[in-house]
Amino acid sequence: MELVTVKIDEQEVQVEKGTTILEAAKKIGIQIPTLCHLKEINEIGACRVCVVEVEGARTLSASCVTPVGDGMAVHTTSPRVQHARKLNLELLLGDHDYSCPSCIRNLNCELQDVAQKIGIRDIRFAQKKSKYPKDRSTAALVRDPAKCILCRRCVSVCEKVQTVRAIVPLERGMKTVIGPAFHEALTDSECIQCGQCVLVCPTGALYEKENIDDVWSALGNKEKHVVVQTAPAIRVA
């Protein structure tokens, strides 16, 4: 096993070659905020909340997908890093329905948690309304594109863990949305309502139906028993 030495916030650490900056920092107790990252399942560097400054590099690096190099010096809280993290998060929030008091994930939301830790008090960008409606078509799950931050954790878990691939990214740019192919309703897709996407969603974009009346109404008020296929919960890093 080849080891490399890296300095993070002036602390030296030895890690195996290929380890990411995020993992190396964690090893010495330095917590870097993350949103899209899900260890070994969703490592796509999409949200840019985990950016750090590597000495000698022109641009900031996403720590969750950047491997350490021998002799590398990294800064995780420099003014440049803090400014970029805040801006990236403000941009995510500008495209997010932040009606937090009425959200099912209020006080249990990773986006809210990271925003608080980073110190977001104001969002400089006007809130955009989602063009896509809520999907309450299945018996157990609700999909709300207005709360989605496009982290793709749900897409990865559906494809790589459950091997179902019921939801995928659709459209491009500002129109991007996560959902079943051809914008069909979740109930008409391959979705087996296992709930793994709900477990990994960092916001309230995917959640379980909150009361049994909703479930029965989705079933046309005919079914007496709701059978939801369950799978073992996966580990969220």
Q: Does 20 bind ligand FES (CB under 6 A)?
A: no
* Closer residue to ligand FES in complex, CB, 35/140: 35
**Contacting residue, 36, 52, 84, 197, with ligand FES by CB under 6 A:** 36
198 part of the interface to ligand FES, by CB under 6 A: no
Asked if 209 interacts with ligand FES (CB under 6 A), we say no
- Least gap, CB of 38 to ligand FES (angstroms): 9
Tell me whether residue 219 or residue 237 sits nearer to ligand FES (CB atom): 237
Q: How many residues bind ligand FES (CB under 6 A)?
A: 12
45 near ligand FES, rule: CB under 6 A? yes
Shortest Cβ distance from residue 48 to ligand FES (Å)?
5
Answer for which of 13, 35, 60, 146 binds ligand FES (CB under 6 A) is 35
Residue 201 binds ligand FES (CB under 6 A) = no
Sites for ligand FES among residues 59-78 (CB under 6 A): 62, 64
CA 52 – CA 194 distance, rounded (Å): 36
Of the pair 83, 183, the CB lying nearest ligand FES is at: 83
Residues that bind ligand FES (CB under 6 A): 34-37, 45-50, 62, 64
